Amino acid sequence: MTSPDVPRPEAPGPESVLHPRLPSPVQEVTDDRFARHGVRLLLKRDDLIHPDLIGNKWRKLAPNLRAAAGRPLLTFGGAYSNHLRATAAAGRLLGLETVGVVRGQELADRPLNPSLARCAADGMRLCFVDRSLYRRKAEPEALAGILRAADAEGAYVVPEGGSNALAVRGCRVLGEELRGRADVIAVACGTGGTLAGLAAGLAPGQRALGIPVLKGDFLTADTAALQTRAFGARRGRWTLDTRFHFGGYARVPAELQDFAQDFESRHDLPVERLYVAKLLYGLVALTAEGAFPRGTTLAAVITGRPF
C-alpha cells in the first residue's frame, strides 16, 4: 500500500504518450492572389500536430488532460463537433473515460452520424440533452443535473469547444511559435479561445485577426472575457472581421465549396470546410481589398483537417 506521505510518481503527460509535432511547421505558399498585392502568405500547419488531436484541439486539450489527472472527462458539443471527436480520441489514446453531452435529445432515437459514430467507436459515452437544457449548461444547477443524469458526477468538465482558461493559455504557445515570423496572424473563430491565446503569445508589433464562422456580434466580448479569465486582462493586439461566416455555423454554400476545392488543388492542402475555408476565403478577399499594406507577411493558422 502506498503511504499518503510518499509523493506518487507523476502520471506521464499527454506529450510523452502522444508525441505531438511541436512547434508545428510553417510553410510558405506562392499564390498570385496575395503576391500581386505584395503580401507573403504563410500557413501555420497546426493540422499536422497530431493525427487525432488536430490543430487547436491539441493546444486546448493537452493542458486539460493533464489537469484531469485520470478522472473521466465530460464535455459538450453539437452533432458534428470536432471537439467531441478530439476528446474521444484522446480518451482512447490515454485510456481515459470520456462522456460527450450532445445537443439535441431528438438525436438519441436516430442512427449516429459519422462524427458521433467515431466518438462512440473511440469509447465515448454519448448523452443527448434537449436544446433548452443544453443552452443552460453553464448554469451550476443545470450542469449538476446533466452530470447526475450522465452518471458522471466526479468527471472533469471541459466546456463546449474546449475553451476554458487552461485551453486559452495552451493556445498562447501558438502565438509564441509565430514570434518574428509574420506581421498579421489570422485564425478562424468559433468560441474565440484560440484567438484569445494566440494574440496573447505574439510579440509587440504583431497582430492577430479573427474570422468568426458564426453569425453575430458576441465574439469581441467573449474573446475579451476569455483573455480576462486566462490572463487577468485583455492581451495583445487583435481584431475580428465578421463578414465571412457565409450564413452561419456549418453553412458551406457552393461558392465556398468551389473556393476550398480550388485552394486544395493549388496548394495540395486539405481544406477543412467549416472553419479553415472561411478563413482562407476571408484572407483572399481582404488582400484584394488592400487591407494589408505591401510588404506584409500574413500567416494563416490551419486549425483543422477535413473529417
Ligand X SMILES: Cc1ncc(COP(=O)(O)O)c(C=O)c1O
| Neighbour tally for 112: CB within 10 Å | 16
Shortest reach from residue 303's CB to ligand X, in Å: 3
- Which residue lies nearer to ligand X by CB, 44 or 83? 83
Q: Which is nearer to ligand X, 51 or 70 (CB)?
A: 51
- Of 10 and 239, nearer to ligand X (C-beta) is 239
Give the other-Cβ count within 10 Å of 11's Cβ: 12
- Which of these is catalytic: 3, 16, 24, 81? 81
- What is the closest distance, in whole angstroms, from the C-beta atom of residue 291 to ligand X in the complex? 21
Q: Rule CB under 6 A: which residues touch ligand X?
A: 55-56, 82-83, 161, 163, 188-195, 272, 275, 303-304
User: Can you tell me the distance from the alpha carbon of 37 to that of 28, in angstroms, rounded to the nearest whole number?
Assistant: 16
Closer to ligand X by CB, 127 or 198: give it.
Answer: 198
Residue 3 annotated as catalytic: no
Q: How far is the CB of 200 from ligand X (least distance, A)?
A: 13
User: Minimum Å distance from CB 11 to ligand X?
Assistant: 26
Query: Which sequence positions are flagged as catalytic?
Result: 81
